[in-house]
Amino acid sequence: MANSKAKAGRLARSESMWAYIMVAPTIIGLLVLNIYPLIDTIKLSFSKTRPFGLYELRGIENYVKMFQSAEFWRANLNTLYFCLLTVPLGIFLSLVVAVMLNTKIKGRTFFRAVFFLPMVVAPAAVAMVWKWIFNTEYGIINTLLAHKVNWITDPNIVMITCAIVAIWSAIGYDAVLLLSGLQNISKSYYEAASLDGATKLQQFFHITLPMVSPTLFVVMIMRLMSSIKVYDLIYMMIEEANPALTSAQSLMYLFYRESYIAGDRGLGSSVVIWTVALIGLVTVVQFWGQKKWVNYEV
């Protein structure tokens, strides 16, 4: 008995020793790679960039400059517009695809794989081919339309073009997530509803939608976050020389250009801090709003 107690004590001591050893790489990594950089970015956002990687604290100068910049407000507007274009329509289409994939038909694994395909292609390559398809002079879309629409250079259209590509890229990913939510719904609900004479459409709105709403909420948060952070797709489709650049420039694109093309990392850091605050705000609003429509009952 005493022996086993001593053994338990030894085990507990070695337990915390092993625990520290096992979390050490991750915690040290996070401190060096994330916590220190987080503090440093905040500091940078209050500093002026000097040559040779030096900085000088300058208070809120960068933020004042940022808030006075028309380009910054335009980037906010562009990002918001991009979110409005991609999130509702993208999630609606993903839900349709997921519901269709949830029916018992032959070849559903094949179709699921096809919709998912853009996920395994680097956004850089995806953007290239769509740039070609949307090309004003020789693009296949304008040929089919028999109209020369400036998909990539018209400031009023460019964001719609980017949104189409973004939705096309993300539809399979979101559908796969929603599908796993749909598959958790018990068949017995549908059987009972069928017996009561409910149509498929009624079943969708009264069973499927409420039951999948927790998954839908997760997908929506994730999609909205990644839309606010959009960068790679727009960067690849709209180059520096494009006259529509200011109409397509997202916040993260502005961050990249300020920090690494203009070389003003202080101002770039202010833009990133602002974006993080925006994401935080949007997420809080979403969590607050979910009470109204997300169903955690069953």
State the nearest-atom distance from the C-beta of 9 to other proteins, in Å. 13
Nearer to other proteins, 113 or 298 (CB): 113
Q: Count Cα neighbours of 173 within 13 Å in the Cβ-side half-sphere.
A: 16
Nearer to other proteins, 18 or 73 (CB): 18
Nearer to other proteins, 11 or 70 (CB): 11
123 touches 136 (CB < 8 A)? no
Nearest alpha-carbon partner for 258 in 268, 248, 249, 269: 268
Nearer to other proteins, 159 or 273 (CB): 273
State the nearest-atom distance from the C-beta of 59 to other proteins, in Å. 19
State the nearest-atom distance from the C-beta of 286 to other proteins, in Å. 13
Nearer to other proteins, 133 or 157 (CB): 133
β-partners of residue 50 are 54
State the nearest-atom distance from the C-beta of 155 to other proteins, in Å. 19
Q: Count Cα neighbours of 262 within 13 Å in the Cβ-side half-sphere.
A: 15
Helix (H, G, I), strand (E, B) or coil at 196: coil
Distance between CA atoms of residues 237 and 159, nearest Å: 11
State the nearest-atom distance from the C-beta of 90 to other proteins, in Å. 14
Nearer to other proteins, 135 or 290 (CB): 135
- Compute how many other C-beta atoms are within 10 angstroms of the C-beta atom of residue 29: 10
245 touches 21 (CB < 8 A)? no
Distance between CA atoms of residues 203 and 181, nearest Å: 16
CA angle 70, 221, 108 (to 5 degrees): 125
236 touches 123 (CB < 8 A)? yes
State the nearest-atom distance from the C-beta of 209 to other proteins, in Å. 19
Nearer to other proteins, 80 or 133 (CB): 133
Sign of the torsion angle spanned by Cα atoms 293, 296, 297, 298: positive
Nearer to other proteins, 94 or 247 (CB): 94
Question: What secondary structure does DSSP assign to 128-160, as a single string?
Answer: HHHHHHT-TTT-HHHHHHTS---TTT-TTTHHH
Distance between CA atoms of residues 162 and 233, nearest Å: 7
